[in-house]
Amino acid sequence: MDIKTYMREVGLCARGASRLLGRAAAGDKNRALIAIAGVIEGQRSEIAEANEKDLAAGRQSGLDEALLDRLLLNSDRIDGMIDGLKQVAALPDPVGEVSGLRVRSSGIQVGQMRVPLGVIGIIYESRPNVTIDAAALCLKSGNAAILRGGSEAFQSNLALANCIRIGLEQSDLPVTAVQVLETQDRAAVGELITMEADVDVIIPRGGKGLIERISRDARVPVIKHLDGNCHVFVDKAADLAQAEEIAYNAKTHRYGVCNAMESLLVAAPVAEQFLPKIAGRLRQAGVTMRGCELSRAIVPEMDEATPEDWDTEYLAPLLAIKVVADIDEAMAHIATHGSGHTDAIVTENYSAAQRFLREVDSSSVMVNASTRFADGFEYGLGAEIGISTNKLHARGPVGLEGLTTLKYIVLGSGEIRQ
Amino acid sequence: MDIKTYMREVGLCARGASRLLGRAAAGDKNRALIAIAGVIEGQRSEIAEANEKDLAAGRQSGLDEALLDRLLLNSDRIDGMIDGLKQVAALPDPVGEVSGLRVRSSGIQVGQMRVPLGVIGIIYESRPNVTIDAAALCLKSGNAAILRGGSEAFQSNLALANCIRIGLEQSDLPVTAVQVLETQDRAAVGELITMEADVDVIIPRGGKGLIERISRDARVPVIKHLDGNCHVFVDKAADLAQAEEIAYNAKTHRYGVCNAMESLLVAAPVAEQFLPKIAGRLRQAGVTMRGCELSRAIVPEMDEATPEDWDTEYLAPLLAIKVVADIDEAMAHIATHGSGHTDAIVTENYSAAQRFLREVDSSSVMVNASTRFADGFEYGLGAEIGISTNKLHARGPVGLEGLTTLKYIVLGSGEIRQ
């Protein structure tokens, strides 16, 4: 069977499954999730074996240690997948919720009902546990899923797909509710992202290259996450001790994450007092700093920042530092160089906080908190399929609600339009 | 100046204006709308003169009467634009509303703030009053607008653009908040729909050809409205007198509108009783009916329906009629042939109503009401920029809220991630 035909069949199966899933009861969906968790528990050794094959192939083809680590499914990570399934099962079902039902002067009642998007295509790299996490979120939100993992995790993904299939067979949901593509052919991705009739949204998870390529070629709408070039702005009215803790946490808590601070902006009136202290702590933590001229006049040990530094998501122990005149220059800098992901101000000034909240156009805008809080779990969404830097539909951390949409419902008693 | 350069400049001006508009006070936006209304009132004769030029050119190039009528700006329609501006000014400002602000166990407060999308590009055909309606909705929702009208309405649109400009000059909003493209070059549209950095969403308004072309070529997200192939299903448990009124209204109230019924589905147990009555009334109204075999066995005067009829949006006094076994066949037919716009059931059966509401995947799903109610004004949105058949973001009638998005806000008191 050629790839086009194979993918068309996958699409039709997914669309068919989505109709059944859309009306599935919460209990049936939860039982399916628990069943999959049970199968994974029972197949630990099969999963580990398949994963060992991927690791061996990866070592042979010279994957670096970081990639091999992402690929690894050890006992802890298998526990993590099982726990994840149980946690998603325990979340409230978003589907069917009706909001805003009001009577209009014509007599009709109008409201909105939350419904699944339909069919979700997820394209991801390396980490095989995404197979389970994504399947769980799609199932719970009543969507059919088509999953396409990285070729380096092919055997692991097949083993996990097998667990999902057995779990679904034990449930009242259609077995094609989750389909893991069983081909390594790259043309399958090209088909998936252009199957407008049978796929409602594509969620790519991986490096910037993957996401840009998919966004460029997709005909299906993409919920995407590009850069996380996050800023912390220390206002002249900041509590400087607090600012130091927030900036330190935002940079050093984890380096390789999208909500880590990549640029620190400091208001000129407090720069001389603030910069030496934070620079000392960051240096001790092993962070390389690249400063503007004013910053380097205060802390000469900093490297010199080049214009590219303001636009770079380092994902590393590196930080760009700039002294700005005031909140206006800070917000203008963020508007020009930010990526619309997460930006924070540290200030005790009420008006500065209000202005920053209102005027900074990012998916998360914070006052006096670490950018590291931009996360579905920290926000109380219960789970997260990614963080969207789109403006339309889901913006910021995407949980179950982001995988649903609202349709209008009208309840009448024979009304006709006059 | 070449088109690329011209459009880049338009885009930069729009982006700059959007930053100011995003933080504009409701009062300033409302005063600008009222100012524009005042200028239109004062320029009635200039508008009529410009419109007369378009009409003359249209007559000369052989536009049909329907198109010429859409082009016409008579005194009533100028009144309509002025009233529209005043109505939009009177609506509540959606921007800045904060919802769901809750304290998390970490101590941070997390909520969502409603903010403008940014820059909206609107591409439309013939009706010049869209220039004013679209400008009003964009301004009120805090978005900068780039408007591209049809070439047949070029002079009218320039006259209206002039009113908008003068009105904006009298206000505290930037004059580039609304830019009407002053070129008839088609390449301008190609630029507009691919300027991802400076345009946040494209809304095409016009025929299916225009919308398909734009959706195909756009890199910017499109809020689109394709077909309105709307169904009314008369269930076996329907109040048949009510069903007759609803079906008659949904078909005959207006023919050329997207929420008119195009297919009537009738449950077999009530077909013999229901079809002759509704067919008689529709025939009297001048509606041509195309029926399935079972329908024609009951009402032989119907034409024979071909398979294409089930997929056609007639926008005319034409109706496809099908007898179905039950609600399952009706919903399967709608899933296969519907366009996801608006579908209604007529029934007194509680479970049938609940199933139809839940399972039919359309932007508006109705029980015992005419499909003609699918409309922003009837739904209480106060205004409407169009009806979206997208699943993501705005679905169904799009009012001011559909031109906004939600960003997360986090209010902390020095919290850091543990």
Secondary structure tally for chain B: helices H, strands E: 14, 16
Which residues of chain A does B343 touch, with a Cβ-Cβ cutoff of 8 Å? none
Provide mean pLDDT across the span B240-244: 98
Q: What's the one-letter identity of residue B81? A: M
Strand partners, B265: B233, B322
Distance CA A221, CA A200 (A): 7
Chain Cα centroid distance, residue B200:
18
Of B200, B362, B372, the CB nearest to A417: B372
User: Quick one: which of A122, A114, A314 has its CA closest to A228?
Assistant: A314
pLDDT tens digits along B352-387: 999 999 999 999 999 999 999 999 999 999 888 999
Please check whether residue A4 touches B, CB under 8 A: no
Distance CA A92, CA A400 (A): 9
The pLDDT of residue B383: 84
Distance CA A26, CA A142 (A): 9
pLDDT tens digits along A203-231: 999 888 899 999 999 999 999 888 899 99
CA distance B237 to chain A (A): 14
Residue B241 has pLDDT above 90, yes or no: yes
The pLDDT of residue A184: 87
Q: 10 Å Cβ neighbour count for A42?
A: 11
Distance CA A386, CA A374 (A): 11
Of B104, B118, B395, the CB nearest to A378: B104
Please check whether residue B350 touches A, CB under 8 A: no
- B107, with CB counted inside 10 A (0-12, 13-18, 19+), is middle
Residue B225: pLDDT band (50, 70, 90) is: confident
User: Quick one: which of B74, B19, B28, B70 has its CA closest to B52?
Assistant: B74
Alpha-carbon dihedral angle through residues A275, A281, A286, A287, given to the nearest 10 degrees: -30
Inspect the interface and report whether the beta carbons of A395 and B408 lie closer than 8 Å. yes
User: Quick one: which of B228, B197, B236, B200 has its CA closest to B330?
Assistant: B236
Inspect the interface and report whether the beta carbons of B359 and A392 lie closer than 8 Å. no
Cβ(A221)–Cβ(A200) under 8 Å?
Answer: yes
ipTM of the complex: 0.94
Distance CA B145, CA B202 (A): 10
Please check whether residue B104 touches A, CB under 8 A: yes
The pLDDT of residue A107: 97
- B5, with CB counted inside 10 A (0-12, 13-18, 19+), is exposed
The pLDDT of residue A208: 85
Cβ(A251)–Cβ(A319) under 8 Å?
Answer: yes
CA angle A227, A232, A237 (to 5 degrees): 160
Residue with tokens 């995003």: B22
CA distance B370 to chain A (A): 5
Please check whether residue A416 touches B, CB under 8 A: yes
Residue B126 has pLDDT above 80, yes or no: no
User: Quick one: which of B334, B17, B55, B62 has its CA closest to B199?
Assistant: B17
Distance CA B221, CA B68 (A): 32
Strand partners, A406: A114
Which residues of chain B does A110 touch, with a Cβ-Cβ cutoff of 8 Å? 373, 378-380
Please check whether residue B70 touches A, CB under 8 A: no
Of A242, A355, A366, the CB nearest to B410: A366
CA distance B215 to chain A (A): 9
Of B216, B368, B378, the CB nearest to A104: B378
Q: Locate B233 and state its tokens.
A: 């299903």
Q: How far is CA A357 from CA A179, A215, A266, A388, in A?
A: 42, 29, 17, 19
A:B CB pairs within 8 Å: 223
The pLDDT of residue B1: 77
**Burial A249-276, CB ≥16 within 10 A → b, else e:** bbbbbeeeebbbbbbbbbbeebbeebbe
Q: Locate B117 and state its tokens.
A: 């999308």
Residue B278: pLDDT band (50, 70, 90) is: very high
Please check whether residue A194 touches B, CB under 8 A: no
User: Quick one: which of B150, B154, B159, B152 has its CA closest to B62?
Assistant: B152
Distance CA A104, CA B75 (A): 31
Give pLDDT tens digits along chain A (418 positions): 799 999 999 999 999 999 999 999 999 999 999 999 999 999 999 999 999 999 999 999 999 998 899 999 999 999 999 999 999 999 999 999 999 999 999 999 999 999 999 999 999 987 899 999 999 999 999 999 999 999 999 999 999 999 999 999 999 999 999 999 998 899 999 999 999 999 999 999 988 889 999 999 999 999 988 889 999 999 999 999 999 999 999 999 999 999 999 999 999 999 999 999 999 999 999 999 999 999 999 999 999 999 999 999 999 999 999 999 999 999 999 999 999 999 999 999 999 999 999 999 999 999 999 999 999 999 999 888 999 999 999 999 999 999 999 999 999 999 999 9
Which residues of chain B does A106 touch, with a Cβ-Cβ cutoff of 8 Å? 373, 378
Q: How far is CA A401 from CA A397, B59, B75, B340, in A?
A: 10, 52, 47, 21
- A124, with CB counted inside 10 A (0-12, 13-18, 19+), is buried
Distance CA A117, CA A75 (A): 34
Provide mean pLDDT across the span B247-260: 96
Give the 3-state DSSP-derived string for B257-278, with helices as H, strands as E and coil as C.
CCCCEEEEEEEHHHHHHHHHHH
Q: How far is CA B247 from CA A301, B88, B231, in A?
A: 79, 33, 9
Q: Dihedral sign, CA of A106, A108, A112, A116?
A: negative
Q: Locate A63 and state its tokens.
A: 């994957």
Inspect the interface and report whether the beta carbons of A414 and B373 lie closer than 8 Å. no
Which residues of chain B does A114 touch, with a Cβ-Cβ cutoff of 8 Å? none
Distance CA A284, CA B156 (A): 67
Q: For testing the chain A interface, which of B391, B395, B404, B411 should be mutated: the one with the most A CBs within 10 Å?
A: B391
> Which residue of chain B is at minimal alpha-carbon distance from A246?
B416
Radius of gyration of chain A measured on its C-alpha atoms: 24
Inspect the interface and report whether the beta carbons of A23 and B367 lie closer than 8 Å. no
List alpha helices for A299-392, DSSP H: 327-337, 350-359
Which residues of chain B does A227 touch, with a Cβ-Cβ cutoff of 8 Å? none
Which residues of chain A does B406 touch, with a Cβ-Cβ cutoff of 8 Å? 395
Of A113, A373, A390, the CB nearest to B415: A373
150-169 in A: which are within 8 Å (CB) of B?
A: none
Of A249, A369, A417, the CB nearest to B373: A417
